[in-house]
Structure 1
């Protein structure tokens, strides 16, 4: 496949380049490449990015990835519509047995068509919050971790832990030695404990601000520690709801554009009409784009990856900054060297977008898997207009 005439996000800026993909890999990148007998895609007027990776996503379209193989397959099928070519199913589950069943379900679905499963993210029971919503506090141990994962860490990409829990620093050293990203989250720890976690190998902050104790200028807390810790990437849910605009900008200002990782934190509500739902054993009210419990507490995400890119644009971030944060940083944050960047030898996954960041085509391994014009589907049902699988008011 040859992609021609696009404005390609390449080495931090946009350049008029063509991209030749052969055997599923970007083989040649340069101006005015000559077409052979391969398929040619005209990207005139489009921005071209490497396929996007969502490193914190629970599910979509009425189900979550912990519910079994079919739920994972649904996510794999839908996510290319939003430019996502690889994702890490994320579980927020209360105990080892429910996590283990979720892990087994993802393993059973791996290799299905669509966005690629890049491992799993255990937003684990290793939490410490004193508010009632988070009533489970499980100290991290090797034994518990192996029980959650069926004694197989080979496809576990990220595990979260609160640094103030007993044994956490030893656990961070051990888990990172296993090749798993150690992540700080759901915590009321101090700034010094965030630094100590980084000293022991932790490199990621779990959907920053959400799940952390609120900032208090009298206290050197985890949020201040995370902003100051240059060794850590900060996941950030950039839907304009989870994190207010000023705090998004503060995070980018403090950590730098190369250390912020936009995520969706999406759940069963992506692609669903607003209303009342049960999410596991808790009631959730999905209204005005936000999923909250009956007391108004924000529970999870519901906006697709490309919409969050548009939200960042509305906040005043440049296309180059968005390309760095959304295109390159997710791969870097998990040590992924085969995706996340337009570069020779990397996987032939690309996204063609309009200048206002709507997905036009998604390409995986040199094959078009989503084409907005080809795949556009218009259905009317109960006064809801669904275009390309995305609900909006008619």
Structure 2
């Protein structure tokens, strides 16, 4: 499979560098960006997870100044805010700190977007959040792509988000509790909503092959977006590490998890590896793999 320059909409950091760290520097970001781009990713969105407002103010500026200073606007056209407008339920929040979750009030949404105007390209919010549909409409009116996830939303709430303009589902199959109702749950509801593309993590740990096959068959290549969900643990040797401010363990096989909760703490690989794993399943042709690893992501966020 030829690499056309994969586009990754969810990179939380790598090589011990956390884009959501209150200690992130411009040099840190540039070192991480270099490693991401060297891995075969042609363009990516640095992703900040649920954090206090002051952290967004600080780190959005740090990242944007580094990008502009080094002429990386095409490679890093903006950021993905995964939160803070998600579910505070521990199972849905996953590696996010539920204490920092807030409802998507218009004032809060506008305040975040105004920190670095035009730099937020994608926001993940919970479709079950209070005023979720209103927040989706506001974000879309500001030219921001919207994905729903890290929620316990039912089919009606997911449909309402799609009605309001939401376009995708953030890492479908993850960001939910380990045990959910067998029939009525966010995974089935997301699969059934034909208007929403499915972002999926094909690192070999987030989703079993059979679920990847089902999602890909139901959504079709035109509505699959592969993301790495690369965390600060990506590129580190196996063993204990710090991820998103918490202790984590990276196993020799590549599984990265928080030992206190058992939940995965992002992935330990880059998008090229995720695409190789997806290719190995034999679901898509080379042209369809290009759609899933590049074209659909570009369609979602628009050109740099």
Is TM more than 0.5 here?
yes
1:79 is the counterpart of 2:24: no
d(CA) in 2 for partners of 1:329 and 1:172?
Answer: 20
1:61 is the counterpart of 2:24: no
State which of 74, 81, 87 in structure 2 corresponds to 1:128.
87
1:305 is the counterpart of 2:262: no
Per the alignment, in what secondary structure is the counterpart of residue 128 of structure 1? coil
d(CA) in 2 for partners of 1:177 and 1:105?
Answer: 26
| Alignment-derived partner of residue 58 in structure 2 | 101
| Alignment-derived partner of residue 253 in structure 1 | 217
**Which deviations, in whole Å up to 9, do the C-alpha atoms of 1:222-248 show, x marking residues without a partner?**
222211122211111111111111111
d(CA) in 2 for partners of 1:185 and 1:261?
Answer: 14
Deviation at 1:206, TM superposition (A): 1.0
Give the conservation status (yes or no) of the 8 Å contact 1:103–1:149: no
State which of 137, 149, 158 in structure 2 corresponds to 1:185.
149
Give the conservation status (yes or no) of the 8 Å contact 2:3–2:40: no
Per the alignment, in what secondary structure is the counterpart of residue 103 of structure 1? helix
Per the alignment, in what secondary structure is the counterpart of residue 320 of structure 1? helix
1:116 is the counterpart of 2:75: yes
Return the structure number with greater helix share.
2
Aligned residues: 290
| Alignment-derived partner of residue 296 in structure 2 | 329
Gaps of 5+ in 1: 1-46, 339-394
Give the conservation status (yes or no) of the 8 Å contact 2:239–2:249: yes
Give the conservation status (yes or no) of the 8 Å contact 1:58–1:268: yes
Moved beyond 6 Å, runs of 4+:
none
Alignment of structure 1 residues 134-283 onto 2, 5 Å: 135-136=98-99, 137-213=101-177, 215-219=180-184, 221-283=185-247
Deviation at 1:315, TM superposition (A): 1.5
TM-score normalised to the size of structure 1? Answer: 0.69
| Alignment-derived partner of residue 49 in structure 2 | 92
Gaps of 5+ in 2: none
Deviation at 1:289, TM superposition (A): 0.5
Deviation at 1:252, TM superposition (A): 0.7
Q: Are the structure 2 counterparts of residues 93 and 166 from structure 1 closer, same or farther at C-alpha, using a change threshold of 3 Å?
A: closer
